[in-house]
Structure 1
Amino acid sequence: MSSKSFLSVIITIVLVSVLTSCKGVKTNEAISEHKKPNILFIAVDDLRPELNFYGANHIKSPNLNKLAGESLVFNRAYCNIPVCGASRASLMTGARPTRKRFINAHIKKDEDYPEAISLPMLLKNDGYTTISNGKIYHYKNDDAKAWDEIWHPNSLWDYALPKSQDIRKNTKRGLPFEAAKVHDSVYRDGKTALKVINDLRKLRASNQPFFLTMGLSKPHLPFTAPKKYWDLYNRDEIELPESYVQPKTTPKQAFHNFGELRQYENIPKRGDLPEALAKELIHGYYACVSYIDAQIGLVLEELKRLELEDETIVILWGDHGWNLGDHKLWCKHVTFETALKTPLIIKVPGKTKGQKTEAITEYIDIYPSLAELVGLDIPNTVEGKSFVPILNGQKSEKNWAISKFKDAVTLIKDDLFYTEWTDDKGIAYARMLFDHKKDPLELDNLAEKPEYQGKVQKLSIELRNKWGKDFLNN
């Protein structure tokens, strides 16, 4: 064979190889394009937006920071009800709370709104594998038909030490905190992370898209976490919040006795907490945030290792805010911003890269947004508004949100927070108005000041126009 002929053969072989390779790439791309995106749905209990990407630099959460840097961060996201059971059921149905629907921690979606097609049910009906891990709804078996699998960790009330377990066994709630020299997997959220990682490995081999959840229980009370996370913080450097006061201008209805915390051992039954105890609680909260940050990091690392990152939407949310001494309050159950404002971040492959938005977003907006992102029609029971236009770089047309707890209903509009306590007929018996541009800590109630009465009347009308058509009748 001549050298010229030999060269032609070599060129032909190379061209065939290149074309075959290119064809394979195109085929894989086509499969990727036609397969619906997976969703990793991370729910965190009692997580307030006191995080680095919200301007707070004292909590150590490197994995959340990294995720935020790859996501769209919502600077003004608000839960619709500041209590876990109701907030979760509202989010999962995309429906607003009313006078009688979604009112407390112990409600069930199946009882309060059985006719609503939940987000996991919508996805399951479209061929998604749906797995509920940890705390997604308040009750394990709520909306059970929507899930291919429901799993909860067994963790002996989330205490690691035998002494703490004995105290819990003999009291209503046990100790409010624990720092034990144990592996992360001893506590509930460490077990949950391992389960989610195992699920990812199994799901990778499937041709079905998945809706995989990770329901984390911390930083909910009790503040129990491995000691190494407590050691990240110096308690001597922890300070009580600047808003550690209850102004006389604020309606008494706005305050409560934080009964959720009072049920724990060694917590006074009434009155302010001793300063040392208050700082110990704040310390415990910080430790728990760092602990769950590490668990989230393990899961996200596995998502990347399995090469699922580019086909998986990751959304992380906290079910409501939490008071850490703000207004001398602890826990949630109020309509101050500290209980309503929540962390919300979403990573969409090819769309997000650390952008931030000031658009006011409600939790009922999450359902229609995820449905739109995966190409599904939104059921008519959903009352939220998709935030996908924001992901596409467009300006949000929405500048308001509505939140409710018991008789208190709050309209959040621009910089104003307006709350009315109303009876069953919708008649107000107390009011509260804050202007965050002048008073971000909500210490000066404007609602009863003569010069604001015109503004109050307009906000009162707008509140009723926006709290939902079935608010008083359902």
Structure 2
Amino acid sequence: MKNLLLIAVLSIGLFAFAQPSKKRPNILFIAVDDLRPEMNFYGANHIQSPNLDKLAGESLVFNRAYCNVPVCGASRASLLTGSRPTRYRFLDARTEKDIDAPDAVSLPLLLKQNGYTTISNGKIYHSGKDDMAAWDSKWFPKGSVRDYQLPEHVKQSMEAGYGVPTEMADVGDDAYFDGKIAEKGIEDLQKLKNGNQPFFLALGFMKPHLPFNAPKKYWDLYDRSKIELPKSYMQPKSTPKEAFHKFGELRKYHNVPKNGDLPEDLAKELIHGYYACVSYVDAQIGLVLDELKRLELEDDTIVILWGDHGWNLGDHKLWCKHVTFETALRTPLIIKVPGKTSGQHTEAITEYIDIYPSLAELVGLNIPATVEGQSFVPVINGQSQQKDWAVSKFGDAVTLIKGDLFYTEWVKDDGIAYARMLFDHKTDPLELDNLAEKPAYKNTVKELAAELRAKWGKDFLKKK
């Protein structure tokens, strides 16, 4: 009897040992360049984005997510390493993780080291050669990144480097880069379907980045005569001059004046083009999500979608990013976790450096010591989050977002401020009334200045 019992116990043990451990969840990681949080699921009703709306209905939507630096290369390197920008690190579009944070184990590298197949398609890092060790494969469409389809625009771009800021071409979705990126993502999902490893599939869509090129059918979704300039189309005298710029990124394009405000018809053309590009990229993302479902991978895959920073569409008479107004800092962020999310929204203030530790926790991996963000998994689990702040910076400007207050200082190398602005979003959501120099807010400014320095990171003023 004892021998039979021993055999049974051993058999159960051997059976248990023989069972494969449960595979970690896959991650579909979708980055969208220059995407504002202006879709229907954020309360707007003028941009048609049915696929993103559907995804949001299955996800947790962050109403108050903020990039840590409003420029693509720096934002992406910061997000993918979970590291804060400093006065000397993660500065501009050309930032490379390998140069600014060579010792940091990036999110894709951590996943690769722990058995994930890692694939980068399209624009994930700004530089195609950055963090090569993190990927099993990297792919980017061939051709000029301006991606014009009409011959006259192609010729103009080849001759001048930049062409017109918008293009409406009567072509199929796969003519432009984002259609090709969606096709590549679908091909990869089909290959990964039967793999024995979990996957981290990163898709970096290019639109709505300038130039605003999209197939004609997406332009036709909108009536330009009904497009209006933003309510914040002004630059109040109380706002420091340092807060504004000449939006040089846009002025490189043909037919854009080199100085001054844009003509109203051009401004509305740009807004129209932006909307068209959002609808176009929405359709491409929808194709990928449909294939994920068709392949029966939905229940095993975390889907996260983010825009690398906000974008100004005439807000404060500005275009592009490169400022610390909320329009450049606030970003779309949604995450679908099977069995846990179903269209909830959260007001929890979230920084982009929080994405890395959150995904690592969700798939059961230890978080490297270099990661400075804080996991938002408790929010996914329906718990409250005590953290109610974020810090973003661009150039000399550093912003503390604390509750409804947005406090910015422009600082020198020694950390001493030479300009300030403070907005209370409870009474001034458009950021038109700078409170920083008003006597009634002297103590508030003093408290926020101290808190900004306590939270901008221990290495903020440290030179490389």
Task: State whether TM-score is above 0.5.
Answer: yes
Are 1:163 and 2:152 an aligned pair? yes
Give 1:32 shift: 9.5
1:374-430 Cα deviation digits (max 9, x unpaired):
000000000000000001110011100000001000000000000000000000000
1:11-45 Cα deviation digits (max 9, x unpaired):
xxxxxxxxxxxxxxxx9xx9897110000000000
Query: Pairwise mapping of residues 226-245 of structure 1 onto structure 2 (< 5 A)?
Result: 226-245=215-234
Superposed CA RMSD in Å reads 1.1
Q: Which has the larger radius of gyration?
A: 1
Instruction: Report the equivalent of 2:433.
Output: 444
Contact in 2 for aligned 1:155/1:187 (Cα 8 Å):
no
Instruction: Report the equivalent of 2:339.
Output: 350
Match among 30, 36, 41 for residue 29 of structure 2 = 41
1:344-384 Cα deviation digits (max 9, x unpaired):
00000000000000000000000000000000000000000
Instruction: Report the equivalent of 1:303.
Output: 292
Instruction: Report the equivalent of 2:6.
Output: none
Stretches of 4+ aligned residues off by more than 3 angstroms: 30-33
Query: Pairwise mapping of residues 97-108 of structure 1 onto structure 2 (< 5 A)?
Result: 97-108=85-96
CA separation in 2, counterparts of 1:323 and 1:235? 18
CA separation in 2, counterparts of 1:32 and 1:109? 36
Question: Aligned letter for 1:262?
Answer: R
Instruction: Report the equivalent of 2:101.
Output: 113
Query: Pairwise mapping of residues 288-299 of structure 1 onto structure 2 (< 5 A)?
Result: 288-299=277-288
Question: Aligned letter for 1:222?
Answer: P
Instruction: Report the equivalent of 2:5.
Output: none
Count of residues in Structure 1 that have an aligned counterpart in Structure 2: 446
Match among 35, 41, 46 for residue 53 of structure 1 = 41
Give 1:173 shift: 1.2
- TM-score, normalised by the number of residues in structure 1: 0.93
Contact in 2 for aligned 1:197/1:302 (Cα 8 Å):
yes
SS where residue 111 of structure 2 aligns?
A: helix
1:418-460 Cα deviation digits (max 9, x unpaired):
0000000000000000000000000000000011000000000
Question: Aligned letter for 1:272?
Answer: D
SS where residue 429 of structure 1 aligns?
A: strand
SS where residue 349 of structure 1 aligns?
A: coil
Instruction: Report the equivalent of 2:132.
Output: 144
1:183-234 Cα deviation digits (max 9, x unpaired):
1001000000000000000000101000001100000000000000000000
Query: Pairwise mapping of residues 241-320 of structure 1 onto structure 2 (< 5 A)?
Result: 241-320=230-309
CA separation in 1, counterparts of 2:274 and 2:367? 37
Are 1:464 and 2:449 an aligned pair? no
Instruction: Report the equivalent of 1:75.
Output: 63
SS where residue 266 of structure 2 aligns?
A: helix
Aligned-residue identity in percent: 74
Instruction: Report the equivalent of 1:124.
Output: 112
Give 1:121 shift: 0.2
Question: Aligned letter for 1:329?
Answer: L
- Of 457-466 and 161-170, the range deviating more from structure 2: 161-170
SS where residue 158 of structure 1 aligns?
A: coil
Question: Aligned letter for 1:35?
Answer: K
Contact in 2 for aligned 1:130/1:147 (Cα 8 Å):
yes
Contact in 2 for aligned 1:141/1:150 (Cα 8 Å):
no
5+ residue gaps, structure 2: 1-14
CA separation in 1, counterparts of 2:19 and 2:400? 45
SS where residue 368 of structure 1 aligns?
A: helix
CA separation in 2, counterparts of 1:401 and 1:56? 24
Are 1:224 and 2:213 an aligned pair? yes
CA separation in 2, counterparts of 1:159 and 1:213? 24
Instruction: Report the equivalent of 2:9.
Output: none
CA separation in 1, counterparts of 2:28 and 2:161? 35
Instruction: Report the equivalent of 1:209.
Output: 198
CA separation in 1, counterparts of 2:212 and 2:418? 37
CA separation in 1, counterparts of 2:232 and 2:225? 19
CA separation in 2, counterparts of 1:179 and 1:155? 19
Q: Structure 1 residues 32, 352: closer, same or farther in 2, change over 3 A?
A: farther
Question: Aligned letter for 1:87?
Answer: S
- Of 67-76 and 160-169, the range deviating more from structure 2: 160-169
1:84-113 Cα deviation digits (max 9, x unpaired):
000000000000000100011111000000
Question: Aligned letter for 1:126?
Answer: N
Match among 156, 177, 196 for residue 188 of structure 1 = 177
- TM-score, normalised by the number of residues in structure 2: 0.95
Question: Aligned letter for 1:53?
Answer: F
Question: Aligned letter for 1:91?
Answer: L
5+ residue gaps, structure 1: 1-26
